[in-house]
Amino acid sequence: MGSTIARTYLAFQHNAHLHTLQTIISSIRPLSSLEEPNRLLFKQADPVEDHHVLVTPETIFHPQGGGQPSDEGTVTLTSSSPSASSSSSSSPSPAPPKFLVSSVRMDAVNEGQVLHLGRFDSPSSTPPHHLFTPGSAVTQAVDSEKRLYYSRLHTAGHVLGSAVRDLLEKEIPGFDELKASHFPDSAACEFLGLIEGKWKEPIQAKVDDIIKRGLPVEIDWWDEEDFKKEGLERLIPETGPGKLPAGEKFRVVRIVGAEVYPCGGTHVDSTDLCGETKVKKISRSKGISRVSYSVTK
């Protein structure tokens, strides 16, 4: 089934400044009707019966992943939707109904599809289900304030990773960067090797320097040969089921003058736009060090 369904075009990966997008509805289903693996993606939805999952051919909503929270926002029927303009009444048209997007995930069953979880802004007694149908024209709009905050957090995480690598790659045996979280209340980067507390101030100073310099943050698309030309074979992402489709390139984020990261998330245009970034704590467990951080909101 999954192989016959088109992948969602991730418009935000090509233009993170695009906060609205005209598209159409591919499908909309009650959350309760989803396959179990997809229902489990949205365990926080309560009550379940009030929630639907909407799919569009393209999206500006970043789905949760890569350590970044999902975007939130709205999907609104456009005035050009036939079903939204069927009335011939001369009275003022009511505001078009909205679908309030609260969470976005990659489909666990149909590879490459993006699922938008939400509920209608109309009273539950008269939800506009009959208007939100496949083929209806809609406008997606992300919450711009949250998008910017998440983008600042994500870029700051890469700045932190770059600072730690620059200072400690040759100081700690077996050093490597591991996973990261860019969530507001749990932002942190993890590294292989034990980073002592004495490094907290030098890391902070390096982070401050990278941010103050306002280094450009650029998006590019690389194949494996591009990584090799840059001497960055260690960064070549895994391929195979659930990974990058054959023939496509990897999206990379380059902090010019610092580091390159394979990354599908959203970012600010230069490091100074991260704002004040604080190195909060260094913790160590089982050979792994965790450096937590925050950015001013």
Q: Which CATH number goes with the domain that contains 29?
A: 2.40.30.130
pLDDT at 41 over 80: yes
pLDDT at 57 over 90: yes
Q: Note if the pTM is more than 0.95.
A: no
Confidence of residue 281 (pLDDT cuts 50, 70, 90): very high
pLDDT at 90 over 70: no
Is 114 in the same domain as 225? no
What is the mean pLDDT of the segment spanning 54-67? 96
pLDDT at 149 over 90: yes
- Residue carrying structure tokens 């090509």: 14
238 versus 143: the higher-pLDDT residue is 143
CA–CA dist 178, 14 (Å, integer): 26
**Residue where one domain finishes, among candidates 115, 142, 169:** 142
Please give the sequence-ordered ranges of beta strands (E in DSSP) within the chain, or none if there are none.
9-10, 20-24, 27-30, 52-55, 58-59, 73-77, 98-106, 114-120, 137-142, 176-181, 188-192, 217-222, 250-255, 260-262, 277-285, 288-295
Q: How far is CA 226 from CA 15, 171, 178, 186, in A?
A: 22, 28, 22, 33
Q: How far is CA 202 from CA 157, 167, 246, in A?
A: 16, 8, 42
Is 134 in the same domain as 201? no
pLDDT at 12 over 70: yes
Is 158 in the same domain as 132? no
Is 64 in the same domain as 178? no
Is 58 in the same domain as 162? no
Structure token pair of residue 96: 């078009």
Confidence of residue 162 (pLDDT cuts 50, 70, 90): very high
Task: State percent of the chain over pLDDT 90.
Answer: 73
pLDDT at 140 over 70: yes
Do 70 and 103 meet the contact criterion of CB atoms below 8 Å apart? yes
- CATH number assigned to the domain comprising residue 156: 3.30.980.10
What is the number of domains present in the chain? 2
177 versus 123: the higher-pLDDT residue is 177
Domain, as residue range, for 285: 147-295
User: Where does residue 85 fall: left (phi above 0), alpha (psi -120 to 50 degrees), or beta otherwise?
Assistant: alpha
Is 103 in the same domain as 238? no
6 versus 83: the higher-pLDDT residue is 6
CB atoms within 10 A of CB 225: 8
Measured in Å, how far apart are the chain's first and last C-alpha atoms? 43
Is 124 in the same domain as 155? no
- What pLDDT does residue 84 have? 47
CB atoms within 10 A of CB 25: 21
- What pLDDT does residue 91 have? 56
**Residue where one domain finishes, among candidates 89, 108, 142:** 142
pLDDT at 203 over 70: yes
Do 98 and 81 meet the contact criterion of CB atoms below 8 Å apart? no
Do 80 and 139 meet the contact criterion of CB atoms below 8 Å apart? no
**Residue where one domain finishes, among candidates 88, 118, 142:** 142
- What pLDDT does residue 87 have? 45
pLDDT at 35 over 90: yes
Is 155 in the same domain as 288? yes
- What pLDDT does residue 239 have? 59
- What pLDDT does residue 248 have? 79
